[in-house]
């Protein structure tokens, strides 16, 4: 899975194929035409409300893909210190929502030699102990 460049339309189309949901049901649920659905499949990005409806219909959390992108590719924590000191009225979420896919992605980078353990720790802000636990737990 390529978390860096997310093409939500292709991923939705893939999930529709996997779950074998009929086009008529999709049209009724989303209240749109078949042409509009085909346009959504070709869209690189969609409105959050549409993604929410797709998530409900297909019983898949498409927002998790964007969360994983944020975990892997967000700026370093140190550069955001000034922003974090100001109080926000928005709810705060923990950044460490490491799914199996993210863990597999990180471990694959190390196994293939694309990145060293030190590079992974630095670039993705993963604690050293967490990375070594993953290596121990998930090694083949």
- The string of pLDDT tens digits covering residues 29-44 is 999 999 999 999 999 9
- The overall average pLDDT reported for the chain is 84
Domains in the chain (CATH in brackets) are 8-61 (1.10.260), 74-84+94-138 (no CATH)
The SS3 assignment for 81 reads helix
> What tens digit of pLDDT does each residue of 20-31 get?
999 999 999 999
Residues 83 and 118: beta-carbon distance below 8 Å: no
The residue whose two tokens read 């990145």 is 115
What sign results for the dihedral spanned by CA atoms 71, 132, 101, 109?
Answer: positive
Question: pLDDT-derived band of residue 5, with 50, 70 and 90 as boundaries?
Answer: confident
Q: Which residues neighbour 96 within 8 Å (Cβ) at sequence distance 6 or greater?
A: 71, 130
Residues 67 and 97: beta-carbon distance below 8 Å: yes
Rounded Cα–Cα distance for residues 53 and 29 (Å): 8
The residue whose two tokens read 């409300």 is 49
Rounded Cα–Cα distance for residues 65 and 8 (Å): 9
């Amino acid at each position: 899975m390529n978390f860096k460049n997310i093409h939500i339309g292709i991923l939705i189309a893939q999930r529709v194929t996997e779950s074998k949901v009929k086009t008529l049901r999709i049209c009724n649920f989303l209240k749109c035409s078949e042409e509009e659905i085909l346009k959504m499949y070709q869209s690189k990005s969609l409105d959050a409300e549409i993604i929410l409806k797709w998530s409900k219909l297909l019983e898949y959390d498409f927002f998790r893909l964007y969360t994983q992108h944020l975990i892997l590719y967000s700026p370093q924590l140190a550069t955001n210190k000034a922003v974090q000191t100001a109080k926000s009225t928005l709810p705060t979420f923990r950044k460490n929502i490491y799914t199996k896919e993210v863990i597999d992605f990180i471990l694959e980078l190390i196994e293939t030699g694309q990145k060293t353990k030190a590079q992974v720790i630095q670039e993705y802000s993963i604690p050293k102990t967490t990375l070594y636990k993953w290596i121990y737990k998930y090694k083949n």
